[in-house]
Amino acid sequence: MKKIIIRTDASTQIGSGHVMRCLTIAKNLKKQGYQVIFWMEPLQGNLISYVKAQGFEHILGAENADLYIVDHYDIDQEWERIHRKYTKKIMVIDDLANRNHDCDLLLDQNVVPEFKKRYETLIPQYCKTLLGPKYLILRDEFLEARQLIDRRNGNVEHILIFMGGTDPTHETMKVLNALPEISHNFKHIDVVVGKGNLQKNKIERICKERGYHYHCQINYIASLIQQADFSIGAGGSTTWERCYLGLPSSSTIVAENQYEATKYAAELGAVLNLGWHNQVTIETYKDLLNTLNAKQQQLSKISEMGLSLTNNEVPNPWIDEIMELLS
């Protein structure tokens, strides 16, 4: 059995997105008969116990393997070259294109200007690239939900709030503070947080008091996206998940790596970009919520653009590319 080690981390500062998308990759590769092991550091807000509960072994240092998959913004070609002695092949998952890599396969699922060219000077000539939304890392629940979605007409009765697994800039609380005078406009409000959200207990209490639906560290977000009419979210990979299921949404930029993709997605008409978190206030969210039903036509167009940008004939084609790398 061929062995794969995934080097990634989650924390209150890093967030949970790297680990969550790596879990999707790990589960797909495990189905194909590979042994998949996670190498993660025990940082504050880590997801080590969660990954173990999903059936994967955890290590704290380098081991020999047939493939290393690296999803970490603090790792570059220096680390990768040092660890070549432990592995035959290295795959990198990146969003930033801001450092050199020594890898055999690179995946970046984001849409940004010139996204097909931006790694040309950062990787070896022999490295194969998988770039753009064709290579979205999607859990099975998303693939199934895509087959069942109805076209949205822009009418908003059901709101989904999900600001990422850790929400380090406390956007969820801003939205909750904006809602009391407006929530009567909506029939159903879902609020999703991750295990690493430091305010999750307070958020849960507020949701119970107001009759909102609270969800923590769930594996059914695709179902909530499918049922919602509009989502208030953060930038990053969850933007493309919402697009994949045609859910119109707003994105607040909560990290540097989200800026370029969020800005470009808004220019393409696939999301409403609210801007940087430090400029987004309770009043910003209140104004957004108050005007949603006046944006019916615009929201319908956002839904269609999201579906169009993420359309792919073969879901998760990166699986075959990884298997070819290991052959």
Residue boundaries of the structural domains of the chain: 3-136+312-326, 141-309
DSSP 271: S
pLDDT band for 79, please (50, 70, 90 cuts): very high
Q: Would you give the DSSP letter of residue 55?
A: T
Identity of the residue numbered 241: E
Specify the DSSP element, H or E, that contains 87.
Answer: strand 87-93
Tokens found for residue 236: 């990053």
Q: List the CATH code of the domain at 3-136+312-326.
A: 3.40.50.11190
**CA–CA separation, 289 and 299 (whole Å):** 13
First to last CA, the chain: 12
Q: Is the pLDDT of residue 136 over 90?
A: yes
pLDDT higher than threshold 90 for residue 12: no
Mean pLDDT, the chain, integer:
95
Confidence (pLDDT) at 245: 96
pLDDT at residue 100, as a whole number = 98
The mean pLDDT value for 152-167 works out to 94
Q: Is residue 102 predicted with pLDDT exceeding 90?
A: yes
Strands 65-71 and 57-59: unpaired
The fraction of the chain above a pLDDT of 70, given in percent, is: 100
pLDDT band for position 113 (50/70/90)?
confident
What is the torsion angle, in degrees rounded to the nearest 10, for the CA atoms of residue 178, residue 179, residue 185 and residue 187? 150
Topology alike, domains 3-136+312-326 and 141-309: yes
Is 185 a residue whose pLDDT tops 90? no
For position 183, what pLDDT does the model report? 79
Burial class (CB in 10 A: 0-12, 13-18, 19+), 114: exposed
- Give me the pLDDT at residue 273, please: 98
Query: Which residues, in sequence order, are bridge partners of residue 36?
Result: 4
Q: Are 222 and 142 in contact (CB under 8 A)?
A: yes
pLDDT value of residue 317? 94
- CA 110/CA 260 separation, integer angstroms: 9
Distance CA 282, CA 273 (A): 15
| pLDDT of 292 | 95
Question: For residue 5, is pLDDT > 90?
Answer: yes
Q: Write down the pLDDT at residue 200.
A: 97
Averaged pLDDT, 135-159? 92
Tokens of 114: 């010139």
Cβ–Cβ < 8 Å for 236, 17: yes
Read off φ and ψ for residue 169, nearest 5 degrees.
-100, 10
- So what's the pLDDT on residue 150? 83
Half-sphere exposure of 60 (CA within 13 A, CB side): 5
Residue 18 is a catalytic residue: yes
Q: Is 148 exposed, middle or buried (0-12, 13-18, 19+ CB in 10 A)?
A: exposed
Distance between CA atoms of 227 and 150, rounded to whole angstroms? 10
Topology classification of domain 141-309: Rossmann fold (3.40.50)
pLDDT of 39 over the 90 cut: yes
Residue 6's Cβ-side half-sphere holds a number of Cα atoms within 13 Å equal to 28
- CA–CA distance, 92 with 108 (Å, rounded to integer): 9
CA distance 109 to 229: 25
Q: Identify the H or E element spanning 233.
A: strand 230-234
Lowest-confidence range among 54-58, 137-141, 175-179?
Answer: 137-141
Band of the pLDDT at 256, cuts 50, 70, 90?
Answer: confident
Annotated binding-site residue? 41 = no
- Please tell me whether 99 is known to bind a ligand: no
Taking alpha carbons only, the member of 214, 251, 215, 245 closest to residue 232 is 251
Instruction: Map residue 309 onto helix, strand or coil.
Output: helix
| Residue 151 pLDDT | 84
pLDDT beyond 90 at 280: yes
pLDDT recorded at residue 70: 98
Name the band, by pLDDT with cuts 50, 70 and 90, for residue 144: very high
- Please state, in angstroms and rounded to a whole number, the distance separating the CA atoms of residues 128 and 24: 21
pLDDT band at 247 (very low <50, low <70, confident <90, very high): very high
Strands (E) in 94-135, as ranges, are 105-108, 128-131
**Residue with the larger pLDDT of the pair 302 and 113:** 302
